[in-house]
Structure 1
Amino acid sequence: MAFKEDFAWGAATAAYQIEGAAALDGRGPSIWDTYCDKPGGTRDGFSGAVACDHYHRYVDDVALMRDIGLKAYRFSISWSRVLPEGTGSINAKGLDFYDRLVDELLDKNISPYATLFHWDLPQALHLKGGWLNRESADWFAEYSQIIAQKLSDRVKHWFTLNEPQCFIGHGLLTGIKAPGLKMSLSDVLTATHHSLLAHGRSVQAIRSVDPSAAIGAAPTGSVAFPKSESPADIQAAYDATFSVPGEGELNPEGANSWMVSGEASWNIAWYTDPIFLGYYPEEGLRAFGSNVPKYTDADMKLISQPLDFCGINLYNGWRVEASQRGNRWEEVPTVQGAPLTAFKWPVTPEILYWGPRFFHERYKKPIYITENGMSANDWVEVDGEVRDYQRLDFVKRYLHHYKRAADEGIPVDGYFLWSLLDNFEWAEGYRERFGIIHVDYATQQ
């Protein structure tokens, strides 16, 4: 077998990272506008106020997509551009921008894949408690329905939330991303639960407008892969991938997961099991204990609305083997001098086989790789060219393993490279370049 004929070959972006026009045409501020104004919030004090100016240059950007042969484009919608206060009055100019963008994509035979939320919560809703407020599920449902009513006649593939591990874990627990808070574990788990309720309400809202819509989510995480393909090592990697470790449960060398005593929200299963299986993982319930918010069967039924596919944002992983010391697995030490991206992330292409395999085994859904890519120290050479050899090599290595998944019959439906353009890389400002299209931010060329 090989990748299927209608496989979605695409690239991905996020609204705040590329659009710019942050204070134009009625857009309201998001938590990222506020966070970027905070001294020390981002590297060199940069923001997404202009970014790639995609809001004004989308026609040229879509032409570039066509020229490089993209068949699909995953973009996110700025909630505060459409609803400046998060709810209530609609900003027609903001909504019309996405209407024009979708038409332009379709005119160039590029399939639109829309993400409803990629970290940029309206600031007005943050001031009402943000995800800590249970009403956030209602706010997100209202917004989702407005977008679906405008675009669902042409947009057939939807993602609700992008990487709750980041906008909850990094935004509310570690404080290294907007809104930059360091809440208690109890509050963080409450916010997580509300975001999952919002996902469920969003699915309902989209289906109320278009029952035939294809809907999924886009979580992230670090996938474990086995040292060998022995059954014991494979089981160890599966268990490690979906672990929610509690304090004292890690092996002596530690593992690439966050412990309850520190950054407890970085895991996969706590976010994806409720969505696809309808319950929180028992391991997490034991680990988090009394910090878990009260919830009902009705909550879990809402969260686990039927979905059509599972997106996964995968960049790197960690190698494990079956433990000989009574633990379920042990992390295999990284070889000294192993390749790293410019962001100092490990290069582990094996995860594009094991990630889809493990996710499909657990959740029984078709798989999209919704983000995968690398930051590189590329620059324009004296002849005006950018020779992107490292990124080409990176993508080839990862796709080699993704093709193995396809060859073995795992239903992989698409691949979205992160990212289409060099862009505003959140707290890192403009230092990290992930784009397959180089951007000179001074000239927008």
Structure 2
Amino acid sequence: MTQHAVESSDTARSEAVSDALSDPFTPPAGSALWRKNFLLGAATASYQIEGAVSEDGRLPSIWDTFSATPGKVLHGDTGAVACDHYHRWESDIELLTSLNFEAYRLSIAWPRVMDEAGRPNRKGVDFYKRLLGKLKDNGVQTFVTLYHWDLPQHLEDRGGWLNRDTAYRFADYADLMSRELGGHVDAWMTLNEPWCSAFLGYGNGHHAPGLANTRYATQAMHHLLLAHGLATAVLRENDPASKKGIVANVGKSSANSLSAEDKRAAHLFEVQHNAWILDPLLKGEYPRDLWSLWPEAEPLVLDGDMRTIHAPLDFLGINYYFRTNVQSDGAHGYTEVPLAGVERTQMGWEVYPEGLRDLLIGFHRNYPALPPIYITENGMASDDRVSDGRVDDAQRIAFLKRHLAAVDQAIAEGVDVRGYFVWSLLDNFEWAFGYERRFGVVHVDYRTQQRTVKRSAQLIAKFLQERASRA
């Protein structure tokens, strides 16, 4: 960004902070958030918090390999220790409960629960049984993601998501988990953000396994979605009482001008970020415009694949963070043009809650088969510091308030949104950005593992307590 853009962004951030300090974290009367059946929870992911990467039979994952490769992760950080949640899970669940969160979204580490032959690793399975059991004992609803990017390295060595066989190995994994953990899980999510797994992992190399080829990305995506469909059938057979879904990260675009070329560029951005995943899931086909963006990159699709991918969903998880302003690249694609004078987070992402509202309303209109929605991730990174035992994360408070208001507006327009999960419960390993970017509503001192509840979490807890008292 230019210096002017930085100064304007700082001004926008200051205004958001002022708003947060002057206005309590309380939805207005009549808001859907006051309904007891609107679920409010927090989310985490295994590799980002657990640590203990070599304990109790856990196998290496692609993120162990990637983060240990020089230059791949900021400051050379790895998930080897992270938040040490593997050893501190009981106190972390007590903390979650003390904050009055009604639901917890977590992920299972595939390398922790199965060996290379597909047999269960009993110590790993028992860890999740104990964790889920404690959550249920505390009355917390459990939303479990099977795949949050930590593919076993031995499967990557055989081609990873470029190998069709990985989809069948994923179904085996789903079979084992649903047989072992059935009854402990309220909602299963097969995949987290397949766009990131496919495009960042195989398309541009920013994430593990670090490959960079558009053909790789589209084929990896097809196998990821096939894995989802195969696993969904297994989950329905083994654990019929639970809900089954998938989590998609979605992006909002804006055109840099009113020209037809820039409007087309904004459309293609949303095709690539949204329709690439949602059309196969909800329509049983890939969007045709995707191949105008990526000619000659269509994946190999076998007979019956799209029918498997198009399996009915009980819910759709939506992760949303920011808007991207784009213009035509002069060919058949788009290029990003950062806007000046907008509020941004520590990640450099624009704060644009209207994008969440508009996307939800658009999905509701464009997909007749749209199932109920949970916002499974929404939050922001900031450079939070502990001062006198407090963390006053005013920008995050404003961010969460405004995005919850956007969800409320979408509900008023007829969108069936059932709940919202804050990303994240804890500061954690933020993938290629390591430990520098803090998304948690609880601060983690990575040297001492001291947890400090931020002001945002205190206000959420206060609201949830007030809501419960009104029930």
Alignment TM-score, normalising by the size of structure 2: 0.82
Q: Cα offset for 1:315?
A: 0.3
1:242 corresponds in structure 2 to: none
Q: Cα offset for 1:360?
A: 2.4
Q: SS of the residue aligned with 2:446?
A: coil
Structure 1: distance between partners of 2:118 and 2:264: 51
2:193 corresponds in structure 1 to: 163
Q: Cα offset for 1:288?
A: 3.4
Q: CA contact under 8 A between 1:352 and 1:399: conserved in structure 2?
A: no
1:243 corresponds in structure 2 to: none
Aligned AA (1:97): F
Tell me the alpha carbon deviations over residues 126-173 of structure 1, each in whole angstroms, 9 at most, x when there is no partner.
001101111111100000011111112121201111111111111111
1:395 corresponds in structure 2 to: 400
Tell me the alpha carbon deviations over residues 210-268 of structure 1, each in whole angstroms, 9 at most, x when there is no partner.
233211111112124799xxxxxxxx9xxxxxxxxxxx994289549669xxxxx9521
Structure 2: distance between partners of 1:258 and 1:354: 15
Match of 2:249 among 220, 224, 232: 220
Q: CA contact under 8 A between 1:47 and 1:424: conserved in structure 2?
A: yes
1:349 corresponds in structure 2 to: 353
Match of 1:52 among 56, 66, 83: 83
Residue 251 (1) aligns with residue 267 (2): no
1:434 corresponds in structure 2 to: 439
Structure 1: distance between partners of 2:277 and 2:372: 18
Tell me the alpha carbon deviations over residues 358-400 of structure 1, each in whole angstroms, 9 at most, x when there is no partner.
222233211111110000111001x111112111111011111
Match of 1:294 among 300, 307, 315: 300
Relative distance call for 1:70 and 1:338 in structure 2 (3 A) is same
Structure 1: distance between partners of 2:134 and 2:182: 15
- Give unpaired runs (5+ residues) of structure 2: 1-29, 329-333, 451-471
Structure 2: distance between partners of 1:54 and 1:19: 4
Structure 1: distance between partners of 2:209 and 2:326: 34
Structure 2: distance between partners of 1:436 and 1:409: 30
2:240 corresponds in structure 1 to: 211
Match of 2:101 among 46, 70, 73: 70
Match of 2:209 among 179, 185, 188: 179
Structure 2: distance between partners of 1:103 and 1:294: 42
- Taking the TM superposition and a 5 Å limit, the aligned residue runs for 1:260-299 are 266-299=272-305
Q: CA contact under 8 A between 1:256 and 1:318: conserved in structure 2?
A: no
1:232 corresponds in structure 2 to: none
Give the % identical residues.
45
Aligned AA (1:30): S
Structure 1: distance between partners of 2:241 and 2:449: 39
Aligned AA (1:430): Y
1:361 corresponds in structure 2 to: 365
RMSD value over aligned CA atoms? 2.6
- Give unpaired runs (5+ residues) of structure 1: 228-235, 237-247, 260-264, 324-329
Structure 2: distance between partners of 1:68 and 1:405: 26
The 10-residue stretch of structure 1 (164-173 or 71-80) with the greater mean CA deviation from structure 2: 164-173
Aligned AA (2:220): A
Q: Cα offset for 1:83?
A: 1.3
1:200 corresponds in structure 2 to: 229
Aligned AA (2:286): Y
Q: SS of the residue aligned with 1:220?
A: strand
Residue 413 (1) aligns with residue 443 (2): no
Q: Cα offset for 1:409?
A: 3.0
Structure 2: distance between partners of 1:59 and 1:148: 23
Q: SS of the residue aligned with 2:60?
A: coil
The 10-residue stretch of structure 1 (401-410 or 104-113) with the greater mean CA deviation from structure 2: 401-410
Aligned AA (1:422): D
1:240 corresponds in structure 2 to: none
Q: CA contact under 8 A between 1:225 and 1:350: conserved in structure 2?
A: no
- Taking the TM superposition and a 5 Å limit, the aligned residue runs for 1:86-165 are 87-165=117-195
Q: SS of the residue aligned with 2:58?
A: coil
Q: CA contact under 8 A between 2:203 and 2:215: conserved in structure 1?
A: no
Q: Cα offset for 1:285?
A: 3.8
Relative distance call for 1:331 and 1:403 in structure 2 (3 A) is farther
- Show structure 1 runs of 4+ deviating over 6 A: 330-334
Tell me the alpha carbon deviations over residues 69-124 of structure 1, each in whole angstroms, 9 at most, x when there is no partner.
10000001100001132x52211000111101101111111111000001110000
Q: CA contact under 8 A between 1:222 and 1:256: conserved in structure 2?
A: no
Q: SS of the residue aligned with 1:368?
A: strand
Q: CA contact under 8 A between 1:314 and 1:371: conserved in structure 2?
A: yes
1:313 corresponds in structure 2 to: 319
Q: Cα offset for 1:320?
A: 9.3
Q: Cα offset for 1:353?
A: 1.4
Question: By percentage of residues, which structure has more helix?
Answer: 2
